[in-house]
Structure 1
Amino acid sequence: MNKGFKTCGAILLGVFFSAAADQLEWNILDGEYWWAGLSSRGYQTPYDATSKATHDLWGDNKGNQAQPLLLSSKGRYIWSEQPIKYVFNQGTLTVTTREGKIDAGKEGANLRDVFEYVSKTYFPSDGNIPDELLFTHPQYNTWIELMYDQNEEDILAYAQAIIDQGYPPGVLMIDDNWQEDYGTWEFSPRRFQDPKGMIDKLHAMGFKVMMWMCPFVSADSADFRQLAQEGLLILDPQKTQNILWANTKNKAAVIRWWNGASACLDLSNPKAQAWFKEELDYLVEEYGVDGFKFDAGDARFYTEGVVSWQQDITPNDHTQFFAEFGLNYPLNEYRASWKMAGLPLAQRLRDKGHRWEDLAKLIPDQMSQSVMGYAYTCPDMIGGGEYRSFLNGDVIDEELIVRSAQIHALMPMMQFSVAPWRILSKENQQICLQMAHLHLQMGDYILQLAREASQTGEPIVKPMALAFPDDGYETINDQFVLGDNIIVAPVVEKGVRSREVILPKGNWTADDGQVYTGGKTIQIRVPLDRLPYFTLSP
């Protein structure tokens, strides 16, 4: 086992492990609960002795952060440096690897004890955090408003509307299709007449600017031909080829993804990493771009026996190469990651639909990120990041947008995309504005927690069972803890105007000033304009 795996260098990871498969089988203890390594399946956790679930992480990160880790409320843990398959079968937990050793054991008596052990042992924090503005101010993404029509005029109009409506400027993410082509990372001259002037204007408004980025390369572009000739692309596992320019025995692989079929950079190759960095550094130096949103990189794109410069690696290693590349840029965002806990990367939950059932997943999925060791997290875009949900304006649910903004307000990061001032009533838009300013008000505290996380590994937001591990809170999935002393209890169901809140022992001051004695469950009113949160008295 190589516990210091993340200090080995990006291009060497994944080559030091035993080729032997391993297997472990445990009985689940009475009253024991388990959290497992897929953030996008957090809503299914915790598992217990009644659960039936199977997940194979080899080549499948389920569109989000993944970690070869399982943790128990009784202090037990399971870890491997390689992808694991885990099966919960009504009282039995079986974990296997295709290759690589499984580590397992018990440290302490509860979830907090064992989390502290594994975070220091397997993914220690490196003392750095992503760009501070990601935490202290709301973020704004152009995706839902502009979709694939990213252009200079509308981006500036979106940014100006943010300011005009009273929202605090923060990070502005320009999403997919600003570029000339996939792999041709230059502003499209058809949609951007003066990209440097645009970014200068955005800076003057108070924004930092991120550009969407991916590892794919359009297969009919000049950049594709150059990269293929230089051997910097993932290759198909075939023995012959029939294209004149190629000088290897393999053709460049064409990988199907949500935007069609493209070639893909081979980031196991240091020369490909150098090419990619030169392209992005040019955007920074020439135009003043501040950072990048890194999309795609999912392990499933590398499962069809593709050939890479570095041999004997897993599909998950390619996800890791892509994620590690982002460490070059403090202002970053990722959706897909593998074994990147403890490192200064902003990790967003995968796109959710504009549906109440998806809204209810935000808290447990975010808590799964935390338990897996990902501290610098964002719960998708407010109202949902799945753009097809917004193609029909008749389906917009104003209440859902408001409750989503409330969930975001006291998370580590808060990200708008759909414009509240465009789709909401004046009253509901005002609630979203209040939530943006609540996040701004709490920004310094959230930043303090981020800095502490970079030293201790302790997540910024925690499930109740991690913050208060001996109180029987394992199955609470609709409230969370900011730091160790603020319990946040949003509403996640349509039409609900009251809810129960579970408060641990101590005196708790609510957002409305009322003081409660803890150690019990209370019933509170939650009108649409209220986000309930409770601060523990010293």
Structure 2
Amino acid sequence: MRTHPRRPRNTRKLVMFPAVALALTLMPSVAGPLATPARADPAARVTVTHDPGVLAVSVPATRKTPGYTVDIATDELALTTQRAGEVALSTARGDTGGLRFRSGGHWQHATEVTDWTWKDGVLTLTADTTLDGATVRARLTPTVDRYQLDWDVEGGSPDQLGLAYDLSSGGHWYGHGQAETPQGGPGVNQPWPLDTGEVDHETFGPASYNMIDPFWYTSKSTGLHVDTGDVMDVALNKGGDGLGTFTVESPGTYKATVFVESTPLEVYRDYIGIVGKPSKSDATYQQYAKPLWNSWAQFYTKVDQEKLLDYATDLHDNGLDGHTIQLDDKWESNYGNLTWDPTTFPDPKGMSDKIHDMGFDFGLWVTLWINLDSTNYQYAADHGYLLMDAKDTSKPCEVTWWNGQAGIIDLANPDAKAWYEGNLKKLMDTYDVDGLKFDTRFFDEKCAPREGHQATDYQELGTRLADEFDLQGAGIRVHWNRTAHEAGFVTRQVDKGTGWDSLRAATTQNLAISTIGYPFVESDMIGGSGGQPPPSKDVLVRWAQSASLMPLMYASTSPVDTNDTTTRQKVDYDQETVDLYRQAIETHEKLAPYIWDQVRSTLRTGDPIMRPLFFEFPKDKQSYTVTDEWMLGPAVLAAPKLSTGATRTVHLPPGTWYDVNHGTVIHGPKNLKGYAAPLGVTPAFVNLEAKGAAKAVKALKRADVPAPPS
């Protein structure tokens, strides 16, 4: 390892420069080959200057962008992004290093810049590293609101490349999607902002069961997008170290985009400009307006025909409205057979008919996993319908999931896809099934992609498959590709626990998912679905109340009664539980016209429906750390009670706010301390100055309080 300093090998000395900086001012593209075309303003000029110890790339402000400077330290290759003279984002320095790589099981990083050139709008940097014989070559390409940073390691046989940032330089961090954390995330923990907790996500990749995208943004209005199809190892504040490390488990070129904007919302919009916005909503108005009732948390795998019909009957008779009864796991004879278990479902067509007679649609849970003991497994293996093993492509890939060992349908094989779809459609036609809940991975890293395909293609193939069916508001977890963004699926979370911590995690997780480009979000099943004892009355009611102020309601645990699978005993709730749950459903249905307006707005703009307060109020500093409030569209501020007790503090940003529970008008910014929120009250406020305020007031105002002044 080199420890002594080394002079640059460039004829442009990087030390002992005169006090006056060297400036290369680039004219528009018509001026010559050194010009950098500006993405939004063709008159913008990029300037490269050099002082002792630092190179600076300056991009001036335009009518729509704030401008920025990237300072590149030359004694140790590090990048500091500044906007209006203030630091907005900095790579790590010291032993960590900003541009780092693993070689021979040890981490190394770029050190002294030894050469640089500026040509055709690209700054190319060459740097020594802490590993003898290894060199980093980086290319920085600036445009008006972002810069591309691509870099490679030459020599040293690296197997992973990564960027490391000083988290505090960007303020607070958001994005990522569902985060794995040492505190139980994503099931019971989702830090918001990310840097206030710990994220340790070692298998962050396109085939993940979690809803994730390689995009992060900060309270200082910068953002990072890593363009890769490989698995990453992502950590933010791991062990409280104050670092963000974004490692790609591949020796190939590291490709990143750093966004520099005036607000976090503009950073989000820049990212959506790359990955795409929804071209449609997969869910219908009815599916936004009413809950989906799914059997999973009510019964888990201890379900049968009699129990499902009793469940539907109780909901129907107690006025607990919904658009669908969806039968989840454990209806099949064996996983992957797509045939009924006759011992537990002796008359599935009759069951379907009775559910339809109650006014519900009927849906089924399905998967692309085919267990090794199922009849369909051998048929699929014999016909080449399964993904093959990455280490031995002569045999099918065997993966482990929560219900055993299985193979996965190879959707890149047209015959396999046609066979699987044919089985699904026959099942649906025979038993009058209206839609499906796909619960699966479309690829696994243990498997080999079909010839001519990449691992990332399978998310797109899964997206196209699911798009052929009514997903009934259960949505699907596909991500990390443009098709998934454009498909407009509802996004459901991974299973949550049944306690207060899970309710809070479900809320902040929706904010994380919706602000990486999946706007049609819902929490996990109301009350949780992680195999724990059923939720308490208060948790169930508060969860329903919070879901009523989200885009969709996804329900399972019946407020009439449920089953405790840990004790195998029935749990009865009281009449107040039923009444308050029904009230939440009615609130959501009244709000549906306003929500549907937001759906249509999202199709135009790509903006999320459920979003953090600071997307609407970027100058309101307190909004950046509020964890239990959100905006539903531009007019509704939701502040439901997400913990024990009957009071809470509500933060109102600047604006004129109508309290739907008291009929009062409040001028923000203001903190309402000790706001009364007994079990029957869901705190919510309408921004009277925002678009859609009239519809929101009509939907949410309590009947016994005065209307806002006209």
Range class of TM-score, shorter chain: 0.7 to 0.9
Per-residue CA distance 1:408-441 (angstroms, 9 max, x = gap): 1111111221110123211222111111111111
**Aligned pair count?**
502
**Is 1:27–1:93's contact at 8 Å kept on the other side of the alignment?**
yes
Say if 2:615 is the partner of 1:466.
Answer: yes
Residue among 416, 420, 430 paired with 2:579:
430
Query: Of 292, 303, 309, which aligns to 2:445?
Result: 303
TM-fit CA distance, 1:169: 2.8
Instruction: Please give the per-residue CA displacement for 1:253-305, whole angstroms capped at 9, x wherever unaligned.
Output: 32221112222212232322222221222233332212111113176xx233x
Partner of residue 468 from structure 2, selected from 328, 338, 348: 328
Q: TM-score, normalised on structure 1?
A: 0.86
Q: 1:344 matched to which residue of 2? A: 488
Measured after TM superposition, the shift of residue 203 of structure 1 is 2.4
> In 1, distance between residues paired with 2:401 and 2:203?
19
Which residue of 1 is the match for residue 640 of structure 2?
A: 490
Task: Tell me by how many angstroms 1:216 deviates.
Answer: 0.9
Q: Report the equivalent of 2:707.
A: none
- 1:116 aligned onto 2:258: no
Amino acid at match of 2:469: Y
- 2:309–2:351 contact (8 Å) kept in structure 1: yes
1:4 corresponding residue in structure 2: none
Quote the Cα distance in structure 1 between the aligned partners of 2:678 and 2:536.
16
Does residue 284 of structure 1 match 2:432? no
Asked if structure 1 preserves the Cα contact closer than 8 Å seen for 2:549 and 2:632, the reply is: yes
CA RMSD in angstroms, aligned pairs only: 2.7
- Specify the alignment match of 1:33 in structure 2: 172
Q: Is the 8 Å Cα contact of residues 464 and 480 (structure 1) preserved in structure 2?
A: yes
SS at match of 1:105: strand
Q: Residue 82 of structure 1 contacts residue 100 of structure 1 at CA under 8 Å; is this kept in 2?
A: no
Shift of 1:165: 0.3
Equivalent in the alignment of 1:145? 298
Q: In the alignment, is the contact (CA less than 8 A) between 2:205 and 2:229 conserved in 1?
A: no
Distance between the aligned counterparts of 1:86 and 1:39, measured in 2? 12
Per the alignment, residue 191 of structure 2 pairs with 44
Counterpart for residue 380 of structure 2: 227
Aligned to 1:10: none
Partner amino acid for 2:454? Answer: I
The 3 A distance-change label for structure 1 pair 104 and 157 is: same
Distance in 2 (alpha carbons) for counterparts of 1:377 and 1:52: 24
- The CA deviation string for residues 288-345 of structure 1, in whole angstroms up to 9 with x for no partner, is 212111113176xx233x234246734x654554344211124253453322334221
Q: CA deviation at 1:18?
A: 12
Shift in alpha-carbon separation, 1:398–1:254, aligned structure 2, 3 A = same
1:360-509 matches, cutoff 5 A:
360-390=504-534, 396-422=535-561, 423-472=572-621, 473-494=623-644, 496-509=645-658
Structure 2 vs 1, CA of residues 505 and 258 (structure 1 numbering), >3 Å: closer, same or farther?
same
Distance 2:301 2:540 in 1: 22
Distance 2:519 2:454 in 1: 27
Deviation at 1:106, TM superposition (A): 2.4
Match of 1:187 in 2: 340
- The one-letter code of the counterpart of 1:486 is V
| C-alpha distance after superposition, 1:121-157 (max 9, x if no partner) | 2222223432333211011111223322433332222
Q: Deviations over 1:430-464 (max 9, x none)?
A: 11111111111112222221222223211111111
Aligned amino acid, residue 493 of structure 1: S
Q: Helix, strand or coil for the counterpart of 1:64?
A: coil
User: Match for residue 708 of structure 2?
Assistant: none
From the superposition, tell whether residues 161 and 44 of structure 1 become closer, same or farther in structure 2 (CA, over 3 Å): same
Measure how far apart 1:219 and its partner are. 1.3
Q: Which residue among 358, 383, 407 is the counterpart of 1:263?
A: 407
Q: 1:204 aligns with which of 357, 364, 368?
A: 357
Sort the Cα spacing of 1:319 and 1:23 in 2 relative to 1 into closer, same or farther, 3 A.
same
Q: Is residue 204–residue 212 contact of structure 2 (8 Å, CA) maintained in 1?
A: no
Alignment partner for residue 234 of structure 2, among 83, 86, 108? 86
Q: List aligned pairs for 1:91-170, cutoff 5 A.
A: 92-97=243-248, 98=250, 99=252, 101-170=254-323
Counterpart Cα distance in 2 of 1:188 and 1:100: 51
SS in 2 for 1:346: coil
Check the 8 A contact 2:657/2:665 in 1, yes or no.
yes
Structure with more of its chain in strand, by fraction:
2
SS at match of 2:333: strand
1:323 and 1:374 map into 2 onto residues whose CA distance is 13
The answer to whether the aligner puts 1:519 opposite 2:669 as a matched pair is yes
CA distance, structure 1, for counterparts of residue 475 and residue 385 of structure 2: 22
Counterpart CA distance in 1 for 2:464 and 2:573 is 39
Task: Tell me which structure has the larger Cα radius of gyration.
Answer: 2
Are 2:460 and 1:313 aligned?
no
CA spacing shift, 1:233–1:19, aligned 2, 3 Å: farther
CA distance in 2, matches of 1:290, 1:100: 46
**TM-score relative to the length of structure 2:** 0.66
Q: How many angstroms apart in 1 are the aligned matches of 2:551 and 2:289?
A: 9
Conserved? CA contact 1:500–1:521, under 8 Å:
yes
Pick which of 123-132 and 381-390 moved more.
123-132
8 Å CA contact 1:236–1:250 kept in 2: the answer is yes
Matched residues in 2 for 1:331 and 1:237: separation?
31
Q: Which runs of 5+ in 1 are unaligned?
A: 1-16, 240-248, 391-395
Question: How much has 1:238 moved relative to structure 2?
Answer: 5.4
Rounded Cα–Cα distance in structure 1 between residues aligned with 2:649 and 2:348: 51
Q: Distance in 2 between matches of 1:52 and 1:236?
A: 34
Could you tell me which of 683, 691, 695 is aligned with 1:532?
A: 683
